[in-house]
Amino acid sequence: MSRVLVTGGGGFLGSRLVERLGADGHDVVAARRRDYDLTHEADAERLFADARPELVFHLAAEVGGIGANRANPGRYWYANLVMGANVLEQSRLHGVGKLVIAGTVCAYPKHTPVPFREESLWDGYPEETNAPYGVAKKAVLVGAQAYREQYGLDAVFLLPANLYGPGDNFDLETSHVIPALVRKMLEGGDEVVLWGDGSPTREFLYVDDCVEALCLAAERYDGSDPVNLGSGHEISIRDLANLVAEVIGFAGEIRWDESMPNGQPRRSLDASKARELFGWEARTPLRDGLERTVAWYRSTLLERAPA
Ligand SMILES: NC(=O)c1ccc[n+]([C@@H]2O[C@H](COP(=O)([O-])OP(=O)(O)OC[C@H]3O[C@@H](n4cnc5c(N)ncnc54)[C@H](OP(=O)(O)O)[C@@H]3O)[C@@H](O)[C@H]2O)c1
């Protein structure tokens, strides 16, 4: 397929995907919010009329770390739900051949057995700090399944682990844990203060591995079941902080602010379905990915920052 629309095409994951699709010779429209606000139905209609896509990747979302989720529960629920609904409806109306939707690991119940398997998705309520975001994305999954059943829309839904890599969001107000650690350790002086007690575990997926998964799913997967995208490597936030410190050469003190929330206790995904269904496996070891992320931050944001 050659005419491809990427919603959220200027975002962290979206811009890497747009680069890859362009290099593969596709005619790509990277939709930006300033041109088309996808929470508005009329903008979504106009976008699909302008782009006339055969293949759509729906990556637009309002996302952030624990702090941003706690500050915006209503907005995150509304924006992610409505954007998903508008994109599904326009994909149906415009006869899109394939729609690939980015879900999130935040959709899983708070106490899911580890590693998370797709069958557990509906076994409970998500961790409270990110539930509105996670539940909105889960509702979009139901929409995708219902549109497949009733209208034959080939929509697939993927559940990526926490992403990281070059181009990530390093704004401390809204960033996820890895860019926050990198920035704090590179700019923070002798001490960095981190939220929680360091005990929760997470799994991290390098952004280009996720791009590869999106492309393979678009090409090879045509099914209603959601599919996990993970690296298979679970690590505690404390060990992660120590690893980032080692990669950066940060010799200061790491202090834990236990008055702040930990978030979900454990997160790790079973990604065997992605291997079986479309032959995808993550390739980038965490340390390599962190080295590339730190190098990118140093060369792109730190060294070019005005004095
Ligand atoms: N980052 C992660 O760890 C992670 C993990 C699992 C799943 N995901 C999912 O992967 C996708 C991409 O995430 P990301 O980290 O790349 O996020 P991101 O950098 O914040 O990019 C999301 C993009 O969505 C666009 N957007 C937001 N509100 C919009 C609106 N009202 N109308 C149109 N566009 C809007 C923004 O476009 P502009 O730049 O034009 O403003 C933004 O660039 C999301 O669906 C997210 O839920 C991310």
Query: 3-166+203-233+266-284 domain in CATH 3.40.50.720?
Result: yes
> Catalytic site residue 133?
yes
pLDDT band at 200 (very low <50, low <70, confident <90, very high): very high
Q: What distances in angstroms separate CA 292 from CA 118, 220, 297, one per listed residue?
A: 30, 29, 9
Distance in Å, CA 63 to ligand 1 centroid = 6
- State the burial class of residue 247 (Cβ atoms within 10 Å of its Cβ: 0-12, 13-18, 19+): buried
63 lines ligand 1 (CB under 6 A): yes
Pocket of ligand 1, candidates 59, 177, 178: which has the most ligand atoms within 8 Å of its Cβ, to mutate? Answer: 59
Which residue reads 């990604």 in tokens? 271
What does pTM read for this prediction? 0.95
104 lines ligand 1 (CB under 6 A): yes
Question: Which of 55, 67, 71 shows the shortest CA–CA distance to 7?
Answer: 55
Amino acid at residue number 193: V
pLDDT band at 307 (very low <50, low <70, confident <90, very high): very low
pLDDT band at 253 (very low <50, low <70, confident <90, very high): very high
61 lines ligand 1 (CB under 6 A): yes
In this prediction, residue 306 carries a pLDDT of: 54
pLDDT digits (tens, 9 = 90+) for 159-174: 999 999 999 999 988 8
Distance in Å, CA 62 to ligand 1 centroid = 6
CA dihedral 250, 70, 121, 142 (to 10 degrees): -130
Q: Give 138 or 301, the one with higher predicted confidence.
A: 138
Cα–Cα distance for residue pair 58/14, rounded to 1 Å: 9
Which residue reads 């790790």 in tokens? 268
Tallying the residues shown for the chain, one arrives at: 307
87 lines ligand 1 (CB under 6 A): no
Greatest alpha-carbon span in the chain? 59
Mean pLDDT of 190-217: 96
At 131 the three-state DSSP class reads helix
Cα–Cα distance for residue pair 116/112, rounded to 1 Å: 6
Token pair recorded at residue 139: 């509702």
Contact indicator for 157, 199 with CB cutoff of 8 Å: no
Cα–Cα distance for residue pair 4/13, rounded to 1 Å: 15
Pocket of ligand 1, candidates 63, 76, 135, 162: which has the most ligand atoms within 8 Å of its Cβ, to mutate? Answer: 63
